[in-house]
Structure 1
Amino acid sequence: MKKTLLIFTFLCCVITGVKAQVVGVDVGDIAPEIDLPDTKGEKIALSSLRGSLVLVDFWASWCGPCIKEQPLLLKLHNAYPDKLSIYGVSMDTKKPLWTGAIAKGKLPWTNVSDLKYWQSPVVGDYMLQSVPLNFLVDKNGIILAKNIHGKALEDMVKSILE
């Protein structure tokens, strides 16, 4: 299984080398920029996390599957604190619900939102139709995987970082 994941990762890297000039949401594309405010109102650009593996996680406080996956994300965050960054993009429209979910889940990673829900520019940029949705992005901003969850996400992160 590890060998298969390593081969898959290698092939993704080879493919991304060919398509790296395209901004889009397919594996091998450069992830579109996101520059939204965090809970304190300070804008944080996705590109500011370049240099590490980044999981762009679209979620909402009202999304059961999103909340259910947070313990795994916390586990990954704690296992690879200097190698993996998580960039949470909330689709909430009410700041108290968003910040309350962050506090309740004890989510230490970057969390941003413009509180516009489906009117946010990132919805179109990432062709967002529902949450949860995520993108695993390499240190150069290239999408390695999308909509990968649970054990598959854990295994892929592990194969890339170990």
Structure 2
Amino acid sequence: MKRYLPFLITLTLFAYGCNQAPQFTVYGEIDNYEGYVFLRYGDAVDSTIIEEGKFIFEGTVERVMQAAITNKADGVFSAPFYLDNDSVYVKTTFAEPYIKMIEAHSPANTLVTQVIDEVGAIMEDEQKLRSNGIFLYMDSITQLYPRNDFIIDVTMEIVSGDYITLQQSDKLLGTIDTTLIHPVEFEAVKTAISRQERINPGDEFPAFSFNGLNGETFTQESFPNQYLLIDVWATWCGPCIQSFEKLKPIYEDLDGTLEILNVSIDPYPQLPINFLEKNKLPWKQAYAEGEFGNPFLKQLGVVFLPFYYLISPNGEILAINPAIEEIPELIKSKGSLKGVLK
């Protein structure tokens, strides 16, 4: 019996290992911070304490999904990355009031970089755009990763924009697992697709009325002789908050030519009020009830954040979701431009 014991132990360990669910390991470093950090993914929140500037989390997920390292259990996704059952190395830093991402390395995050680079290259190649390059690429990638959160997010942005035909949008939505999309967001996507037949660059922006956080009301008439950037955002949106720093120098350089109207879609207005008390911004602030289900924002096709409309003084839509660095040139040229994937 003794001669078989090592074999039996090995066999038992192998069988035990085969029965274990795949696991992820998120390990990394953080600068300028002590105490607890949290890993948020899906509906889950895990916590651990920083030891010598390092942290580690372990668990399991059923698919590739967005996650974030935060300094609060319900904090902003300010250090986001994509999580799968693999090892993920993340490097972060604490810059009051949030933890911010420096880099993330794993197969899932490598895919993110590859897709962003490929989509960006197609967007910059007019010949590829005209020959359905964006659809052909997304058609292949969605078939490979129909349940990948990032691929689903990119697909939603593509079908919500002006990049492909309505029939091609239907094809992509039929490939990804739409049951993983929040019902309100999916309804907004369908609204955005129908918007493509109604609201586009060059059209007149619909009449609007937003309630300001200070009690005022904002309409098109509130911005006479000014270009207006309507910026739909929320305090939980890390990219929204990061974009403010990019907008500040543009706002200052244009010196009254451009006004910005932030429209928060947080669950209740006290959230942006609290945020803005700690993070002063020089432009106008408003609030829209109903989050993504707000009727006017649904009409506009707002399905992701941040979402931008650049409007001329006469009410013409100059761009939908322009890259921030393009805004000065758009205003200078007074031309219409379709949005680009950021």
- How would you bin the TM-score normalised by the shorter chain? 0.7 to 0.9
Whole-angstrom CA distance in 1 between matches of 2:320 and 2:278: 26
2:217 is matched by which residue type in structure 1? K
- What is the SS of the residue equivalent to 2:250? helix
What corresponds to 2:270 in structure 1? Answer: 96
Q: Is the 8 A contact 2:318 2:330 kept in 1?
A: no
TM-score norm. by structure 2 comes to 0.37
Q: Secondary structure at the match of 2:243?
A: helix
Post-superposition offset of 1:81: 2.5
Question: Structure 2 residue aligned with 1:37, among 196, 211, 215?
Answer: 211
Aligned-partner SS, 2:200: coil
**Equivalents in 2 of 1:101, 1:153: separation in Å?**
25
List alignment gaps of at least 5 residues for structure 1.
Answer: 1-23
Whether 1:131 aligns to 2:295 is no
What is the root-mean-square deviation of aligned Cα atoms in Å?
Answer: 1.9
1:157 is displaced (CA, Å) by 4.0
Amino acid at match of 1:64: G
Give yes or no for contact 1:33–1:47 (8 Å, CA) kept in 2: no
How far apart are the structure 2 equivalents of 1:125 and 1:110?
22
- The structural deviation recorded for 1:159 is 5.1
| Structure with more strand by fraction | 2
Identity %: 28
Secondary structure, aligned partner of 2:292: helix
**Deviation (angstroms), 1:107:** 1.3
Shift of 1:72: 1.7
Matching residue within 325, 331, 339 for 1:151: 325
Q: Which of 281, 285, 288 pairs up with 1:114?
A: 288
Maintained 8 Å contact 1:58/1:91: yes
Q: Distance in 2 between matches of 1:47 and 1:118?
A: 25
TM-superposed CA distance for 1:38, in Å, is 0.7
Higher-Rg structure is: 2
Q: 1:157 to 1:118 in 2, by over 3 A?
A: same
SS at the partner of 2:236? coil
* Structure 1 length-normalised TM: 0.75
Segments of 5+ residues of structure 2 without an aligned counterpart are 1-197, 335-342
**In the alignment, which residue of structure 1 is the partner of 2:237?**
63
Mapping of 1:17-56 within 5 angstroms?
A: 24-56=198-230
> Structure 1 66/158 Cα, relative in aligned 2: closer, same or farther at 3 Å?
farther
Distance in 2, matches of 1:62 and 1:46, equals: 27
Residue 141 (structure 1) aligned to one of 283, 302, 315: 315
Tell me the secondary structure at the aligned position of residue 67 of structure 1: helix
Matched-pair contact (CA < 8 Å) for 1:29–1:142: yes
Instruction: Classify the secondary structure of the residue corresponding to 1:85.
Output: strand
* Structure 2 SS opposite 1:139: coil
The SS at the match of 2:263 is strand
Which has the higher mean CA deviation after the structures are superposed, 46-55 or 149-158?
A: 149-158
Number of residue pairs aligned between Structure 1 and Structure 2: 137
Q: Larger relative contact order (C-alpha < 8 A, sep ≥ 6)?
A: 1
Q: Following TM superposition, by how much is the alpha carbon of 1:40 offset from its aligned partner in structure 2, in angstroms?
A: 2.0
- Summarize deviations over 1:1-46 as a string: whole Å, max 9, x none: xxxxxxxxxxxxxxxxxxxxxxx53100111122121112222113
Shift of 1:83: 0.8
SS of 2:210's partner is strand
Distance 2:331 2:279 in 1: 21
